[in-house]
Amino acid sequence: MNRRTRLLALPLAAALLLGTAPALAGCSFQSVVKDVSGGNVDIGGTSVPSDFPSEVPLASGDVVFGAALGSGESKVWNVTVKVSGSDAYTGIQKQLTDAGFSGEFGAQGPNGGGTGTFSNGTYGVLVVVTDAGDNGWVANYSVSKGAVPSPTPSAGS
């Protein structure tokens, strides 16, 4: 799976999960996503995928969503964790830098939260802390081998 396919596949899987899961009543959602992704997907539900990199620390809190997509060097993990509030990004940044990652939260939203990118040379981590309505504040971690996952594909990828 090339970088562009990888970057497009995870949002596609998330969109399918959030937008069309009710329409798939009677079908196995994981089977549909496996067909779309070529079979390399693990939608762990409310748990961290079993092969999530132990080098990447996660904020303390209930796991709202966990998934993995791809294989080998093209593997991408996505984990969403409930956090204490809009300022949780400061603790997350400290966890990541204490674990040997470089990077920072560069964009904070008008109501708090923020977006940060981190790397340790082996893994790239994109973290978004946001208000998720009824779920409260969450931190969404997108992790890939190598470069930091981009929230949007760039031209020429």
| 82 close to 61: Cβ distance less than 8 angstroms | yes
Cα–Cα dist 100/28, whole Å: 39
- For residue 150, tell me if it sits in a domain: no
Task: Give the pLDDT score at 147.
Answer: 65
- For residue 151, tell me if it sits in a domain: no
Closest CA to 76 of 5, 1, 10, 14: 10
Looking at residue 89, the DSSP 8-state letter turns out to be H
- For residue 154, tell me if it sits in a domain: no
Cα–Cα dist 31/149, whole Å: 25
- For residue 155, tell me if it sits in a domain: no
| Overall domain count for the chain | 1
Tell me the pTM.
0.70
Give the three-state DSSP class for 74: helix
- For residue 13, tell me if it sits in a domain: yes
- For residue 153, tell me if it sits in a domain: no
| 144 close to 76: Cβ distance less than 8 angstroms | yes
- For residue 27, tell me if it sits in a domain: yes
Cα–Cα dist 48/59, whole Å: 12
Q: How many CB atoms lie within 10 A of CB 61?
A: 16
H and E: helices and strands count for the chain: 3, 7
Give the three-state DSSP class for 42: strand
Task: Give the pLDDT score at 149.
Answer: 59
Q: Which amino acid is at 29?
A: F
Range(s) of the domain holding residue 70 = 3-145
10-residue averages of pLDDT along the chain (157 residues): 40 39 38 47 76 97 92 90 94 97 85 91 95 92 80 47
Task: Give the pLDDT score at 73.
Answer: 84
Residue 57, Cα to own-chain centre: how many angstroms? Answer: 13
- For residue 117, tell me if it sits in a domain: yes
